[in-house]
Structure 1
C-alpha cells in the first residue's frame, strides 16, 4: 500500500462528493417523473381526454431537460474512479466494475433509445405503443439506478467475494450475491421512491403556480391532484423503506447507526430517548444540549423494547482486538508477498477478516509500516486507531434529522393538498399553494442529505471493514487536485445554471405555449385550406 498526502485524499473526497451531489440533484426528478408520466399517459389512453395528453407532453418536456443534464453530469463520475481512486479501483474493481458497466448499458442504450421514441413518437405510434415506450423509459431509468446502488451496496455490505493475497484484489465469487445484496435492494426501492416524492412536489408546486396566476386551470388542477395523491403514497413508502434501511444499518454497520442516533454510551432500554436535538462533539465524544423523546429509540432502531444498542465508545473498545489482529494480518501478508510460504499464508488467513483494521492502523505506525511496530508501541498505536473507526458524528447525526424533518413536511403538504384538491377548494387556499411552490427544491435537498447520511456514515471506509478511504485515493499532487476540483465546480455550476434557466423558462411559458405552437404549426402545414376559407368568407 502506498502512502498518500492527506491533503490529496481530502481534495479527492471533496471533488467526488461535489460531483456526486451535483449529479444527484437531477437523478431523483428523472426517476420520479418517468413513472408520473407513465401514470398520466395511462389515464390518457384509458379516457382519451386531450387534457391528459397535454399534461404528459408538457411534463415530459421538463423531464427531457432534466434527463439530458443529469446524463451529462453523471458521465464524468465514472472516470473519477480511475483517475482519483486508483487504489480503490485496483482493490475493488472486480466487484464494482460489473454493475457499473451494466448501468452504462442501461442508461445509454435502453434509456436513450426509448427516450427518443417517447418524445418524437406521439404522432407516429399508436396510443398503446407510445404508452409502452413511456413505461420502458421509466423501467430503464430505474434499472439504471438499481445497478449503481448494487455497486454501492457492495461497498457498504461486501459479500460474494474474497480477498486474493496474490493479486491484492477482492475477487468476485458470486454475482448473484452481489445483485441480491439486501442493502442494494432496500436502497434501490428507497432511492427510487424518494424520486417519486421529488417529482410529485415538482409537479404540485408548478401546478400551484399556474393556479395562483389563474392560468391553465383544468390542466393545473388535474396535475395538482394527481401529484398530491402520488406524493402521499410515495412519502409513506419512503419513510417505511427508510426504516428497513435503518434496520440493515443496525445489523451491518453499527458505527453508522450509533452516529445517526448520537449514541456514545450503550442504550438503556426501554427508556432510552430518541434525540430530536443535540450537538455532537466528536473530539470530546459527548453531546451537548440533548433534547429527546423517551421510550422511542429502541423500538425505532431494533423493533423491540428490550434490546440494547451498542454505543460508539463500546464499539471502539470492541474494535481493539480487531486492530491488533489486523496488524498481524498485514505483517503476515507482507511476509507472504516476500516468501510465498505456506506458514505466512496460514497466518494471514487466520487474521484475514480483520485486515481492514490493520490498514486503519498503518496511519499511526512508524513510517506507516505496521511491521515496524514494537511490542511497546502496539498499545499506543491501537489506542490512536480506535477513534478512527467512527464517522463524523455531527455530520451524520444532523444530515439524517434534516432528511426526516423534510419527509414529514412533504407528507403534511401532500395530505393537505390532496384533501383541498378533492374538495375543489384550491382557489381558496393561497397559502397552501404558495407553500407547495416554495417547497419544490426541498425534496432534492432531502435526497442530498439522505445520500450524505449514507456515505458519511460509512466512513472511514470505502469498502466497509476492508479498505479505508485514506488508502483508496490516487497519488496525485495537490496542485492537480485543486485545478481539477476548480474545473469540475465551474463546469457543474454551468450545468446547474442551464438547468435552472431552461426549467424556469418553459415552466413560466406553460402548456398554453405548446398548444399555441401546435396550432400555428397545423395552420402552416395546410395553407391552402386557410386561403380557401378566407375567400369563402
Structure 2
C-alpha cells in the first residue's frame, strides 16, 4: 500500500476544489438560460411579437459567452482525474468513466452541435424548427449535468458495482443501478433547478439595471417579469428537492447529515432545535454557542416527530467495530494476494463491506501497515481512527447554512419582484431594482456552497465507505503540484477576466434593436395575453 505525501494530497484536493468551483461558476447559468431562452422563443412563436425574438437573441448572446468559457474550464477538470487522482481512477474508473463517456458522446456533442444551429439558424430555419433546436440545446445541457451527477452519485452511494479482489477495483456490473442511483436522481434535479434560479436572477438583475437607467424599458420589463415568475417556481423546487437530498443523506451518509446540523450527540425528538448558527469546534468536538429553533430539526430531517438523528460521537462509537472488521478485511485481502487461499478469500468476503474502514486506519497503524498491527495496539489504532470518519464540521455546517439562507433570500426577492411587476410599479421601486441588480452573483455563490456541502460532507472518502481520500491521489512531488497549481490559477484567472469583460460589455450595450422602444412602437402588433400593459414598467 503506497502512501502519498500528505502535502501532495492536500495540494491535489485544493487544486481540484478550485477547478470545480471555477467551472461551477458557469454551469448553473448555462443550465438555466437554455430553458429561459426556450420559454422566450416559445412566446415569440406563439404570438409573433418581435420583442420576444429580441429577448431570445440578446439573452442567447450572453448564454453563448458563458457556454464557451464553461466548456474551456470543464475540460481541465476531467484531465485531473487521471493526472492527480490515479489511484482513484484505477479503483473507480469503470464506474466513473462510463457516465462521463456517455456525457461526452450523447450530451456534450449534441449540445455543441445544436448551439451552432441556434445562433446561426434564425434566418435559415422556420420559427418552429429553430424553436425545436433551442429546446434540444436545453435538453443537451441538462443531459450533460445528468451524466456528470450520475458519476458523482457513485462516489456518494456506490451502487451497480462490486469489489473484485483479483483486480483490486470496483467492477461495473449494473447500468440500471448506476443510472437510477437515488442520489443521482435527486441531485440532478436539485442542481438543474438551482441553475434555473441562477439564470432567473441573472436576467432579472440585468433587466433591473436597464430600468434604473431608463433604457430598453419595455424589453427590460418583460424580461424582468418572466425571470421573476421563473425564479419563484425554481426556488420552490430547489428547496423541496433539497429536502429530498437531506432525507437521503440521513439514510445513507449519517456523518454528513450530523455535520450539516452540527449534531455532536444523538438528538432527543421532538424538542431538538434546528441550529441556525453555531461555532463548531472540530478539535474539541463541540459547539461553542448555538442559536436554534426548537421542534424543527426532527420533522425537517426524519419527516417524523419521534425518530432520533444519530450524533457524531455515537457515529464514532459505532465505527469502532467496523474499523476492526476492516482491518480483518485488508489483512485477509493481503494474504489472498499472496496465497490465493480459499480460506483467506472467504474471510475477506465476510468483512468486505468494512474494507474501507480498514484502509482508513492505515494512517494510525505502525509503519502504516494494518496487516501487522500487534494485538496489544489494535485498540489504540481503532480509537485513533474513529474521529477520522467525520468530515470537517465547521466547513460543512456553514456552507450548508449559507446556501439555505441565500435560497430564502431568493424566494423573497423573486416573490416581491413578481408582485411589483404584476402591479406595474417596477420603476417606482428603485431599492428593489438595486437589490435585484446586486443579487446577480448570489445564486452562483449559493450553488458553490451547495457543492462544498456535498463534497466536504463526503470526506474522508472519495468513494464513500470504500476508498479514503488520502489513498486516492497520484504520487507527484510537492514542487510539481505547486507548479501546476500556479499555472492553473493563472489560466483560470484569464478565463474569469474574459467572462466578466465580455458579459459586462454586451450587457451594457443591450439588445441590438428594441422593437418596443418609442421609434418602433408603431410597427408593433396588437398586444397579446403574454404581454404586460404597453405603458407598464
Q: Residue 277 of structure 2: SS of its match in structure 1?
A: strand
Partner of 2:530: none
Partner of 2:330: 330
The separation in 2 between residues aligned to 1:300 and 1:399, in whole angstroms, is 18
The separation in 1 between residues aligned to 2:452 and 2:192, in whole angstroms, is 17
The separation in 2 between residues aligned to 1:359 and 1:488, in whole angstroms, is 31
> Counterparts in 2 of 1:496-507, with a 5 A limit?
496-507=496-507
8 Å contact kept, 2:55–2:223: yes
Partner of 2:85: 85
8 Å contact kept, 1:269–1:307: yes
Partner of 1:436: 436
Partner of 1:359: 359
Partner of 2:222: 222
Q: Structure 1 residue 512: deviation in Å?
A: 3.8
Q: Residue 159 of structure 1: SS of its match in structure 2?
A: coil
Q: Residue 166 of structure 2: SS of its match in structure 1?
A: coil
Q: Residue 511 of structure 1: SS of its match in structure 2?
A: coil
| 1:193 to 2:230 alignment | no
Partner of 1:447: 447
> Counterparts in 2 of 1:125-524, with a 5 A limit?
125-512=125-512
The separation in 1 between residues aligned to 2:87 and 2:175, in whole angstroms, is 22
Moved over 3 A (4+): 512-515
Q: Residue 270 of structure 2: SS of its match in structure 1?
A: coil
Partner of 1:115: 115
Q: Structure 1 residue 107: deviation in Å?
A: 4.5
8 Å contact kept, 1:320–1:386: yes
Q: Residue 363 of structure 1: SS of its match in structure 2?
A: helix
The separation in 2 between residues aligned to 1:495 and 1:275, in whole angstroms, is 39
Q: Residue 22 of structure 1: SS of its match in structure 2?
A: helix
8 Å contact kept, 2:155–2:464: yes
With 227-236 and 370-379 compared, the bigger mean Cα shift is at 370-379
Partner of 1:524: none
The separation in 1 between residues aligned to 2:512 and 2:123, in whole angstroms, is 19
8 Å contact kept, 2:246–2:257: yes
Partner of 2:52: 52
The separation in 2 between residues aligned to 1:381 and 1:514, in whole angstroms, is 71
Q: Residue 119 of structure 1: SS of its match in structure 2?
A: helix
8 Å contact kept, 2:298–2:309: yes
8 Å contact kept, 2:34–2:134: yes
- 1:409-444 per-position Cα deviation (integer Å, ceiling 9, x unaligned): 000110010000000000100000000000000000
The separation in 1 between residues aligned to 2:427 and 2:395, in whole angstroms, is 41
| 1:106 to 2:111 alignment | no
- 1:355-392 per-position Cα deviation (integer Å, ceiling 9, x unaligned): 00000001111111112201110000000000000000
Q: Give the 3 Å change call, closer, same or farther, for CA 166–446 of structure 1 in structure 2.
A: same
8 Å contact kept, 2:54–2:513: no
The separation in 2 between residues aligned to 1:473 and 1:459, in whole angstroms, is 14
The separation in 2 between residues aligned to 1:439 and 1:511, in whole angstroms, is 22
Q: Residue 133 of structure 1: SS of its match in structure 2?
A: helix
- 1:162-192 per-position Cα deviation (integer Å, ceiling 9, x unaligned): 1000100000110110000010000000000
The separation in 2 between residues aligned to 1:46 and 1:466, in whole angstroms, is 53
The separation in 1 between residues aligned to 2:448 and 2:105, in whole angstroms, is 25
The separation in 2 between residues aligned to 1:428 and 1:65, in whole angstroms, is 32
Partner of 1:34: 34
8 Å contact kept, 2:108–2:141: no
Partner of 1:526: none
Partner of 1:523: none
Q: Structure 1 residue 108: deviation in Å?
A: 3.6
The separation in 2 between residues aligned to 1:102 and 1:315, in whole angstroms, is 37
Q: Structure 1 residue 109: deviation in Å?
A: 1.3
The separation in 1 between residues aligned to 2:419 and 2:374, in whole angstroms, is 70
Scaled by the length of structure 2, what TM-score is found? 0.95
Q: Residue 159 of structure 2: SS of its match in structure 1?
A: coil
8 Å contact kept, 2:265–2:312: yes
The separation in 2 between residues aligned to 1:300 and 1:118, in whole angstroms, is 43
Partner of 1:73: 73
The runs of 5 or more residues in structure 1 that have no matched partner are 520-537
Q: Structure 1 residue 514: deviation in Å?
A: 8.4
Q: Structure 1 residue 462: deviation in Å?
A: 0.2
8 Å contact kept, 2:108–2:144: no
The separation in 1 between residues aligned to 2:258 and 2:336, in whole angstroms, is 37
The separation in 1 between residues aligned to 2:116 and 2:381, in whole angstroms, is 59
With 98-107 and 320-329 compared, the bigger mean Cα shift is at 98-107
8 Å contact kept, 2:388–2:460: yes
8 Å contact kept, 1:216–1:512: no
The separation in 2 between residues aligned to 1:495 and 1:106, in whole angstroms, is 26
The separation in 2 between residues aligned to 1:49 and 1:105, in whole angstroms, is 37
- 1:245-280 per-position Cα deviation (integer Å, ceiling 9, x unaligned): 000000000000000000000100010000001000
Q: Residue 364 of structure 2: SS of its match in structure 1?
A: coil
Q: Structure 1 residue 106: deviation in Å?
A: 3.4
Q: CA RMSD in A?
A: 1.1
The separation in 2 between residues aligned to 1:317 and 1:252, in whole angstroms, is 17
Count of aligned residue pairs for this structure pair: 517
The separation in 2 between residues aligned to 1:103 and 1:204, in whole angstroms, is 31
Q: Structure 1 residue 513: deviation in Å?
A: 6.0
The runs of 5 or more residues in structure 2 that have no matched partner are 520-537
Partner of 1:63: 63
8 Å contact kept, 2:95–2:171: yes
